[in-house]
């Protein structure tokens, strides 16, 4: 065969392994997935995985990196664009939240095949116990998280930075659960609403965005050890300008 066919089949083996690993890591977790089931589902030889990726850990990193690079680069690009359009003024919190969380859901919706699968894998990856996974995620997210953190600081100058970080943390959690699958949702409800999976996906983003912005802009908490009485919650100052 010619060169094209060769490179095609090479890419096919690598990508078939990545696709199978993505799906199985999502469904059974990293520790719960063996190299044998990955290569079986990919239809390749067991040794091919170690030949192309070196180890199971490296395979997991490759699975995550393949899509995270696209998502995080788009996140940085959109934030740059929004800040350029704002002309030096702080961005609205809702714009920042949409650049971060909206980009994630929109890109995942684009990639028809593995998009939803990767979303659910990503949701679970944040709570993966393996040290090397958390270390990988930490470095992979360091830049984009720092940029968005600073953008939120500028956007909410009257809110203590510690509160912003905590609420960013809460938003990450709510989003991860939202996308980590409807399994946890079935746990909450019988879920006999008439909408199908398609409409669920379509409406997830506006639903999530409303919740996230509502939480981000909620009145600041009253700590017990702070000065002043434990006032009525409705008397609290709104978090967002």
Partner DNA sequence: CTAGAATTAAAACGAACGTTTGAATTATAT
Partner DNA sequence: ATATAATTCAAACGTTCGTTTTAATTCTAG
Q: If binding is defined by CB under 7 A, does position 27 make contact with DNA?
A: no
Footprint of a second copy on residues 180-199 (CB under 8 A)?
180, 183-189, 191, 193, 195
- Across 49-79, b (16+ Cβ under 10 Å) vs e yields beebbeebeebbbbbbebbbeebbebbeebb
> Whole-angstrom Cα distance, residue 11 to residue 135?
28
Q: If binding is defined by CB under 7 A, does position 7 make contact with DNA?
A: yes
Of 14 and 120, CB closest to a second copy: 120
Residue 228 binds: one of a second copy, DNA, none (C-beta under 5 to 8 A by kind): none
Which among 104, 77, 90 is positioned nearest to 209, based on CA atoms?
A: 104
Q: How many residues bind DNA (CB under 7 A)?
A: 27
Q: If binding is defined by CB under 7 A, does position 135 make contact with DNA?
A: no
Interface segment toward a second copy; rule CB under 8 A; list 5-13, 77-85, 108-116, 203-211: 203-211
Residue 84 exposed, middle or buried by CB count within 10 Å (0-12, 13-18, 19+): exposed
> Whole-angstrom Cα distance, residue 212 to residue 167?
9
Binding mask 124-163 vs a second copy (x if CB under 8 A, - otherwise)? x-xxxxx---x--xx--x---x---x-----------xxx
- Min separation Cβ 184 and DNA, Å: 24
Show the CA angle centred on residue 229, arms to residues 226 and 234, nearest 5°.
100
Specify whether the CB–CB gap between 49 and 35 falls below 8 A: yes
Candidates 52, 57, 172, 201: give the one binding a second copy (CB under 8 A): 172
Footprint of DNA on residues 50-69 (CB under 7 A)?
50-52, 54-57
- Min separation Cβ 22 and DNA, Å: 15
Interface segment toward DNA; rule CB under 7 A; list 37-45, 68-76, 133-141, 198-206: 37-45
Look up residue 63 and give its DSSP letter.
H
> Whole-angstrom Cα distance, residue 124 to residue 49?
23
Residues found near DNA in the complex (CB under 7 A): 1-3, 5-7, 9-10, 13, 33-37, 44-52, 54-57
């Amino acid at each position: 065969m010619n060169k094209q066919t060769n490179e095609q089949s090479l890419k096919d083996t690598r990508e078939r392994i990545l696709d199978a690993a993505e799906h199985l890591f999502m469904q059974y977790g990293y520790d719960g997935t063996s190299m044998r089931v990955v290569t079986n589902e990919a239809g390749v030889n067991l040794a091919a995985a170690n030949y192309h990726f070196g180890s199971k850990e490296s395979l997991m990193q490759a699975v995550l990196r393949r899509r995270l690079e696209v998502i995080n680069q788009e996140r940085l690009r959109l934030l740059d664009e929004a800040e350029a359009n704002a002309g030096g003024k702080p961005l609205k919190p809702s714009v920042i939240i949409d650049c971060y969380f909206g980009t994630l859901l929109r890109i995942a919706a684009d990639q028809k095949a593995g998009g939803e699968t990767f979303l659910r894998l990503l949701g679970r990856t944040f709570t993966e116990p393996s040290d090397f996974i958390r270390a990988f995620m930490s470095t992979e997210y360091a830049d984009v998280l720092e940029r968005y953190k600073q953008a939120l600081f500028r956007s909410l100058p009257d809110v203590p930075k510690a509160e912003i970080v905590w609420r960013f943390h809460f938003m990450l959690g709510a989003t991860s659960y939202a996308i980590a699958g409807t399994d946890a949702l079935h746990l909450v409800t019988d879920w006999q609403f008439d909408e199908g999976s398609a409409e669920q996906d379509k409406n997830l983003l506006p639903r999530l965005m409303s919740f996230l912005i509502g939480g981000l802009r909620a009145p600041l908490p009253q700590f017990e050890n702070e000065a002043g009485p434990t006032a009525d919650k409705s008397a609290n100052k709104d978090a967002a300008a």
